[in-house]
Amino acid sequence: MPSFNPSTQEMVGYINGGLRAQTAVVDNATYILATAVDIFTVYGRIRIISLDYEAVTACSDTATLLKWQFNASVPAIAAHDISGAALTCATIAQGRRIVFQGTALDTAQVISTNPCTSLSAPTTMDVGCYAGVGTLATHGAVATTSGTGIFTLCYIPLTDGAYAEPLC
């Protein structure tokens, strides 16, 4: 089997999966609340290839129904849901993922059945606008009280200079 330089491996990943923005491991009690919490800033217009949350440690036993919102600040447009809520995220075990589906604004996210495996989104979604700025935010029905996780966004820039960056 050939051995590739790490930079070559990284470039192949970008070509096939898009650019990646990923948060640090975050405390669920701070980032999964019963209100919107900004996770990524989006500059310009991007195409979301995948957007997910992965439990690093088990989530609390609270009936959080997690969904995603996009909030454009330039131009100023009210936040709106870009997904439906996932089924209850209570006690999600380490390694399980909540995966954005991208098919319609009201499509619920899917919680992986088994740890460390999940299906990719069946389609993509474009957010942002030329020279615009906005945020991707989580919004839970109930705040979580424990556990940790990591958010990952893979995307393709659609306008000149477009990119996304994690806020945590």
Burial of 165 (0-12, 13-18, 19+ CB in 10 A): exposed
The pLDDT score that the predictor gives to residue 4 is 64
Mean residue pLDDT across the chain = 90
Kindly state whether residue 63 falls inside one of the protein's structural domains: yes
Query: Rounded to an integer, what distance in angstroms lies between the CA atom of residue 42 and that of residue 137?
Result: 11
Kindly state whether residue 88 falls inside one of the protein's structural domains: yes
Range of the domain at 78: 19-166
How many domains does the chain contain in total?
A: 1
The pLDDT score that the predictor gives to residue 122 is 84
The pLDDT score that the predictor gives to residue 1 is 54
Kindly state whether residue 159 falls inside one of the protein's structural domains: yes
3-state secondary structure of 30: helix
Kindly state whether residue 97 falls inside one of the protein's structural domains: yes
Kindly state whether residue 11 falls inside one of the protein's structural domains: no
Q: What is the pLDDT of residues 83-142, one digit of tens each?
A: 998 888 888 899 999 999 988 888 888 888 888 888 788 889 999 999 999 999 999 888
Please check the confidence at residue 44 and state whether its pLDDT lies above 90. Answer: yes
The pLDDT score that the predictor gives to residue 6 is 72
Q: What is the pLDDT of residues 11-37, one digit of tens each?
A: 766 777 789 999 999 999 999 999 999
Half-sphere exposure of 18 (CA within 13 A, CB side): 20
Kindly state whether residue 12 falls inside one of the protein's structural domains: no
Kindly state whether residue 13 falls inside one of the protein's structural domains: no
Kindly state whether residue 108 falls inside one of the protein's structural domains: yes
